[in-house]
Amino acid sequence: MKSNSLKLILSAGLFLLPAMSLQAGLDTVLKVELNCYFQAKTSLSGNIDAGKVGNVRLNSKQLLTLIGRERGIRFPYGSQLKVTDVGYVYVADSNGNSILDASPYVQVTFFKGKELLNGKINIANGKEDTRTYYQLALRLNLTTLKGTLRGIGIEDLIVTAPDRDGIQIARGNTDSTVNGKGIVNGGTGYFDGRINLKGRSAVIR
């Protein structure tokens, strides 16, 4: 069986380790698309109690900008968040080279041991074509955004049979709809959205 883990923080910390990473030694690119809702305004006038809810949208590019502000640096064009097969989350440049440890700010945790597996794994040669379902948590730990989001990860993993040089190609994609509670600008916040992990790697068996 395989397991998964990511790292994204709003009020705690998080790190993600996708099943495909464990199985294939595959670094994956982390993408997020979140809505962060908060109480923007309240008022009481006579018998009328009114309020207005604000919405902060957060994607991967904006998340990188916020992490850069926390550290007082600006990442080069094309930078991205990546996750290793042991759950290490880092900022990489456009060539995939590590720039910064992002784990103090973003974590994803994949709850392993109770995955649902659909498909086939060849234990002898490592060839695989599977879809796995598992629970994951996404946490953010930034000055203005803190919280924990949970959801079900759906991971598709294809690993080719080894060629004559023993090289296998692994391709993985994990999607999850997540939601949860945290803090936005010092007040109560609610979050929902999607996260995605995608990677491709050559593995020597």
| Residue scoring higher pLDDT (15 or 175) | 175
Mean pLDDT over residues 109-122, rounded?
89
Residue 205 has pLDDT above 60, yes or no: yes
- Does 11 map to a domain? yes
Rounded-to-integer distance, Cα 180 and Cα 110, Å: 16
Total domains in the chain come to 1
- 94 burial level (CB within 10 Å; 0-12, 13-18, 19+): exposed
- Does 1 map to a domain? no
Of 62, 57, 58, 38, the residue nearest 182 (C-alpha): 38
Predicted pLDDT of residue 110: 81
Residues in the chain: 205
Domain encompassing residue 126: 7-204
Mean pLDDT over residues 191-204, rounded?
90
Predicted pLDDT of residue 86: 62
- Does 71 map to a domain? yes
Rounded-to-integer distance, Cα 26 and Cα 198, Å: 9
Summary count for the chain: helices (H), strands (E): 2, 11
Residue 4 has pLDDT above 80, yes or no: no
Of 4, 2, 1, 42, the residue nearest 153 (C-alpha): 4
Rounded-to-integer distance, Cα 73 and Cα 139, Å: 22
- Does 184 map to a domain? yes
| Residue scoring higher pLDDT (95 or 178) | 178
Q: Report pLDDT digits (tens) over 147-170.
A: 999 999 999 999 999 999 999 999
Rounded-to-integer distance, Cα 94 and Cα 8, Å: 21
Mean pLDDT over residues 9-36, rounded?
59
- Does 181 map to a domain? yes
- Does 69 map to a domain? yes
Predicted pLDDT of residue 87: 65
Neighbours of 108 (CB within 10 A): 32
Q: Tell me the whole-structure pTM to 2 decimals.
A: 0.81
Residues facing 148 on adjacent strands = 139, 181
Residue 144 has pLDDT above 50, yes or no: yes
- Does 2 map to a domain? no
Residue 83 has pLDDT above 60, yes or no: yes
Consecutive H or E run containing 68: helix 60-71
Predicted pLDDT of residue 201: 86
